[in-house]
Amino acid sequence: MSGSVDVEVEVPVMSFADLKAALDKLTPEQLAKPVIWVGDDRGGLIQSLGFAEEDAICDEADTGEVFARSEFEEQCADDPERLAQGRVTCKKGSPLLYTDCVSIVDGKG
């Protein structure tokens, strides 16, 4: 890549501070490119940066799904044991990257 900085192919990013440090090493040309994410068989573009409006809770006792705290508490109104087993996976105010999600295998969402 013309004018690129000599960096590792993959840089471990465990926090937004790690991400910022990795981005600080990019050239202006690289920073102007779209932000793309990839996984095993899915990928897409990062559409926006947002912030969690409330805690997100993983329903450890039942489905393993993640719910907004208010929705989870409402669902568990009659099940205090299930409520107690819920695990916070994302704190209110945490930065979030919003994406479009498409299969990199077949191009479908």
pLDDT tens digits for range 36-67: 888 887 888 899 999 999 999 999 888 889 99
Q: Using one digit for the tens of pLDDT, what is the confidence trace for 6-25?
A: 555 678 888 999 999 999 99
Query: What SS3 state is found at 69?
Result: helix
Q: Got the DSSP string for 57-73?
A: EE-TTTT--EEEHHHHH
The answer for residues whose C-beta is within 8 angstroms of residue 107's C-beta and 6 or more apart is none
On the question of pLDDT at 106 being above 70, the answer is no
User: What tens digit of pLDDT does each residue of 52-105 get?
Assistant: 999 999 998 888 899 999 999 999 999 999 999 999 999 999 999 988 776 555
Distance CA 109, CA 92 (A): 28
User: Rounded mean pLDDT of the chain?
Assistant: 86
